[in-house]
């Protein structure tokens, strides 16, 4: 994660250095692609090995890597973070900070009004629910990665635990959503602690790998424990949420009938929208409060310098565990919501890709920033939909957009850290000083 920022202080690269980087990258590409692309092997009709060469394509690829490295290096220098500070005049920066102050409330008011504005547009409502789900997941993971600085690549495991907890409790025992929701959170937190114990003495890359493995283990267990989880077929017929016991359906004791209005399936969508909005805002509120409590300050201190924390008498193991458990709990809530919204879940929904997406949201948003994470979720999920028209090129465009943003703002969209306590005046802390954690 430190990779992007290490280049920020580098002076402008000279032409020979630029060429050297490009040549090295091209050679690596040549070695890799000569086997993957250059030589094509296939089993012939009698099972014998046939192969042919594709040196033309290989040459194109290597040339593309060579050219691409030069372009990326140049971009780094032109629109890199060192440049933007100078390029943007102070007046504009002031205006930006003004926008920043009112952006969060404006965004919140707009979000509250989304079901009113887009009542007839089911597609937008569904998309908004999806975005909010990722906002919530992002805020949950932000506790672990952004505040405590622990790189967790298996966050989806807790999402899965939450989803299956609700699905199984509701289908097997018929418990209501509102009872299962806290249970799902508690169970996910429990798994977070269970994973945390053996893992948290590891640091950096090792922690990332083990959490990654944990995410996969949970998914494999879900696939293979057929009796309980239904294996790859998943769990279906998961009950929809009720408004304090009143179902939102066509039946006689449904909400529409009770209110004497005509039933519309949109009612449930709107209800789900406000439900996930409430859950996400709860996550946000709790996180903001926790940051200002000793536990939250200890998380951030842990990210800054673990050794100093221990010298001050902070039990780093329990501090890390609480961060893990808190993040996992929010993941569990989001999972329960996911299950009740879909009505059907299977292990396919909980692949590594989900973990990577949520982590990308946190990193892109600016680690530790609540507003940044919300904006990043909107940009990632919304942007992903926006590029839908581009069909096959969607991933390519999307990938490029991400690379450009990370070159432009290596510390994420919102790069400042707000202090949790102050004597006279709260001043935002520049992201260059804030550490990213190493454990």
Partner 1 sequence: MSGNKILSVDRLTMRFGGIVAVQDLSFAAERKKITALIGPNGAGKTTVFNCITGFYKPTGGAIRLTHDDGKEIALQRLNDFRIAKQAKVARTFQNIRLFPGMTVLENLMVAQHNMLMRASGFTLLGLVGAPAYRDAEKRAIDLASDWLKRVNLLDRADDAAGNLAYGDQRRLEIARAMCTEPALLCLDEPAAGLNARESAALNELLLSIRNDLGTSILLIEHDMSVVMEISDHIVVMDHGVKIAQGTPREVRDDPKVIAAYLGADDEEAMAVMESGS
Positions that interact with partner 1 (CB under 8 A): 286, 289-290, 293-295, 297-298, 300-301, 304-305, 307-316, 322, 417, 419-427, 429-430, 433-435
Closest contact distance (angstroms) between CB of 372 and partner 1 is 15
Nearer to partner 1 by C-beta: 132 or 362?
362
Q: How far is the CB of 211 from partner 1 (least distance, A)?
A: 24
422-436: b (≥16 Cβ within 10 Å) or e: eeeeeeeeebeebeb
Nearest distance from residue 317's CB to partner 1, in Å?
9
CB of 112 to partner 1, least distance (A): 25
Q: Residue ranges of the alpha helices (H) in 225-351? A: 226-229, 255-259, 265-291, 294-304, 306-311, 316-342
CB of 286 to partner 1, least distance (A): 7
CA atoms lying within 13 Å on the CB side of residue 154: 23
3-state SS, residue 242? strand
In terms of Cβ atoms closer than 10 Å to its own Cβ (0-12, 13-18, 19+), residue 406 is middle
- Residue 144 CB-half CA count within 13 A: 31
Count the Cβ atoms, other than its own, within 10 Å of residue 230. 20
| Dihedral over Cα of 284, 289, 295, 296: its sign | positive
| Min separation Cβ 297 and partner 1, Å | 5
DSSP state of 11: P
**Cβ-proximal residues to 305 (8 Å cutoff; 6+ apart), any chain:** 435
Residue closer to partner 1 (CB basis): 40 or 310: 310
Q: Which is it for the CA torsion 127, 133, 137, 139, positive or negative?
A: positive
Q: Using the 8-state DSSP alphabet, how is residue 121 labeled?
A: -
Q: Which is nearer to partner 1, 251 or 427 (CB)?
A: 427
Question: Cβ of residue 40: shortest distance to partner 1, in angstroms?
Answer: 51
Contact, 24 vs 18, CB < 8 A? no
The smaller minimum CB distance to partner 1, of residues 280 and 302, is found at 302
Q: How many other C-beta atoms can be found within 10 angstroms of the C-beta atom of residue 278?
A: 12
Residues 6+ apart with CB under 8 A from 110: none
Q: How far is the CB of 104 from partner 1 (least distance, A)?
A: 21
Give the nearest distance from C-beta 311 to partner 1 in angstroms.
5
């Amino acid at each position: 994660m430190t990779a992007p920022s290490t280049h920020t202080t580098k002076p402008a690269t000279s032409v020979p250095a630029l060429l050297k980087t490009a040549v090295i990258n091209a050679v690596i590409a040549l070695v890799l692609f000569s086997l993957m692309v250059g030589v094509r092997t296939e089993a012939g009709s009698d099972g014998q090995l046939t192969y042919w060469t594709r040196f033309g394509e290989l040459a194109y690829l290597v040339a593309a890597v060579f050219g691409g490295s030069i372009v990326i290096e140049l971009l780094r220098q032109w629109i890199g973070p060192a440049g933007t500070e100078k390029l943007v005049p102070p007046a504009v920066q002031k205006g930006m900070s003004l926008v920043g102050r009112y952006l969060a409330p404006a965004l919140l008011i707009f979000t509250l009004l989304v079901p009113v504005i887009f009542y007839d547009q089911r597609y937008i409502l569904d998309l908004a629910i999806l975005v909010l789900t990722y906002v919530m997941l992002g805020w949950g993971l932000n506790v672990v990665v952004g505040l405590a600085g622990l790189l967790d690549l298996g966050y989806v495991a807790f999402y899965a635990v939450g989803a299956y907890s609700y699905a199984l409790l509701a289908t097997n025992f018929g418990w209501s959503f509102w009872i299962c929701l806290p249970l799902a959170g508690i169970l996910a937190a429990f798994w977070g602690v269970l994973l945390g114990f053996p893992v948290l003495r590891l640091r950096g890359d090792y922690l990332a790998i083990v959490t990654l493995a944990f995410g996969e283990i949970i998914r494999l267990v879900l696939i293979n424990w057929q009796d309980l989880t239904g294996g790859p077929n998943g769990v279906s017929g998961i009950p929809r949420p009720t408004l304090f016991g009143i179902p939102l359906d066509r039946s006689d004791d449904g909400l529409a009938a009770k209110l004497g209005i005509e039933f519309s399936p949109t009612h449930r969508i709107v209800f789900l929208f406000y439900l996930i909005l409430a859950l996400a805002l709860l996550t946000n509120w709790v996180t903001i409060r926790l940051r200002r409590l000793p536990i939250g300050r200890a998380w951030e201190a842990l990210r800054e310098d673990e050794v100093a924390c221990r010298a001050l008498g902070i039990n780093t193991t329990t501090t890390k565990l609480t961060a893990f458990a808190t993040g996992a709990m929010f993941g569990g809530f989001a999972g329960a919501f996911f299950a009740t919204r879909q009505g059907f879940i299977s292990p396919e929904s909980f692949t590594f890709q989900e973990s990577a997406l949520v982590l990308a949201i946190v990193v892109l948003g600016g680690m530790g920033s609540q507003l940044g994470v919300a904006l990043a979720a909107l940009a990632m999920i919304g942007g992903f939909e926006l590029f839908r028209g581009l069909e096959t090129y969607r991933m390519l465009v999307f990938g490029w957009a991400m690379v450009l943003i990370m070159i432009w703002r290596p510390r994420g969209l919102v790069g400042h850290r707000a202090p949790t306590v102050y004597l006279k005046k709260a001043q935002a802390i520049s992201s260059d000083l804030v550490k990213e954690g190493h454990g």
